[in-house]
């Protein structure tokens, strides 16, 4: 999984020593008038369509999608952006807005010369993918939603803070250590044993990724997710859409994820008997690849 010229290392790619899955290197990309972001990229087969991976809260492009890069790259060019305040994403004084993340994603496609992409949103990335289609429909070839919704209702608020694989994979960080040491904590039970026991090389890398987050912007991102509601316009989606539902999800319960189907009745639905940190498991990559193929007309 060789990076394109100009990509910068952040440590050796995992997987070379058998200690974890391969993580593609990344590069910083200047988005004119917006700031500098960070993208991980795998070229994929010649002429392949592009998938744009949009990560969840407290994650990064690498953390959220490390299990998906390799299977996706067999069919697609793969881009994974770090959102504002997360990882190496844009830093700004202005308040975090999901709409800005969607505009960043569109600007990244422009900067890389990509006309259209299948937007794949996980958890917080789901609203960003929805906004990308709403604000830049010409950029979106298809949509894939996983472990997300079009509205995050009260009652999910406390659980939502511990979303995505970031808290699961980063066992060497303060947050990861806290989550795995407090007995009977509800979020601890969501972390698969195999993830808590991942090799040190992956843990160290995941911890370093999380330490890059801007705490103020991540806190604002949580508030932005909780206030998101696309019900007034999501029924206008006119591109192939696949909804990947995690039926054991306690962060975003399955019934909340299925609200997307009420808004987009032509969408395909893939049900998986998994929880919210499924993205840290090997099976996640194959499932997301299947969903992307479905959203691209079943190539």
pLDDT of residue 178: 38
Of residues 223 and 111, the one with the higher pLDDT is 111
Phi, psi of 245 (to 5 degrees): -100, 125
pLDDT of residue 201: 67
d(CA 128, CA 42): 22
Identify the band that residue 154 occupies on the pLDDT scale cut at 50, 70 and 90.
low
Secondary structure of residue 260 in the 3-state scheme: helix
pLDDT of residue 203: 75
Share of the chain above pLDDT 90, in %: 68
pLDDT of residue 16: 40
Kindly tell me the sign of the dihedral angle through the C-alpha atoms of 184, 186, 187, 191: positive
pLDDT of residue 200: 52
- Residues 256-275 have a mean pLDDT of 96
Q: Which residues contact 12 (CB under 8 A, 6 or more apart)?
A: none
pLDDT of residue 215: 92
pLDDT of 279 strictly over 50? yes
Strand (E) or helix (H) holding 288 = helix 282-295
pLDDT of 59 strictly over 70? yes
pLDDT of residue 76: 98
pLDDT tens digit sequence for 1-16: 444 433 344 544 444 4
pLDDT tens digit sequence for 164-202: 433 443 333 334 333 333 333 333 333 343 333 344 567
pLDDT of residue 107: 98
Q: In this predicted structure, which of 95-99, 155-159, 255-259, 284-288 has the lowest mean pLDDT?
A: 155-159
pLDDT of residue 297: 72
**175: phi > 0 → left, psi -120 to 50 → alpha, else beta; which?**
alpha
User: Strand (E) positions, the chain?
Assistant: 26-31, 35-42, 50-54, 77-81, 117-122, 140-146, 241-246, 268-272
* DSSP conformation letters of 232-247: TTGGG--S-EEEEEET
CATH topology of domain 26-295: Rossmann fold (3.40.50)
Q: What is the reported pTM?
A: 0.82
Share of the chain above pLDDT 70, in %: 76
């Amino acid at each position: 999984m060789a990076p394109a010229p100009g990509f910068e290392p952040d440590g050796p790619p995992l997987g070379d020593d058998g200690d974890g899955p391969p993580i593609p290197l990344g590069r910083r990309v200047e988005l004119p008038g917006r700031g500098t972001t960070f993208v991980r990229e795998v070229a994929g087969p010649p002429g392949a369509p592009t998938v744009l991976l949009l990560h969840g809260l407290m994650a990064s492009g690498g953390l959220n999608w490390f299990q998906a890069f390799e299977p996706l790259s067999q069919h697609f060019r793969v881009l994974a952006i770090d959102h504002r305040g997360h990882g190496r994403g844009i830093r700004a004084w202005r308040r975090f807005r999901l709409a800005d993340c969607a505009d960043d994603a569109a600007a990244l496609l422009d900067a890389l010369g990509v006309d259209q992409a299948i937007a794949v949103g996980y958890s917080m990335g789901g609203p960003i993918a929805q906004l990308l289609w709403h604000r830049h429909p010409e950029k979106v070839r298809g949509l894939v939603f996983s472990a997300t919704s079009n509205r995050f209702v009260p009652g999910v608020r406390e659980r939502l803070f511990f979303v995505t694989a970031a808290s699961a994979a980063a066992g060497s960080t303060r947050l990861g250590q806290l989550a795995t040491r407090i007995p009977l904590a509800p979020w601890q039970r969501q972390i698969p044993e195999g993830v808590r026991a991942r090799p040190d090389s992956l843990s160290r890398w995941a911890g370093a990724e999380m330490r890059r987050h801007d705490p103020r912007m991540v806190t604002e991102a949580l508030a932005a997710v909780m206030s998101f509601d696309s019900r007034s316009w999501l029924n206008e989606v006119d591109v192939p859409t696949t909804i990947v539902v995690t039926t054991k999800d306690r962060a975003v319960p399955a019934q909340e994820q299925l609200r997307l189907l009420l808004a987009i009745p032509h969408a395909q639905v893939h049900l998986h008997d998994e929880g919210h940190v499924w993205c840290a498991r090997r099976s996640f990559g194959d499932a997301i690849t299947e969903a992307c193929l479905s959203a691209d007309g079943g190539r």
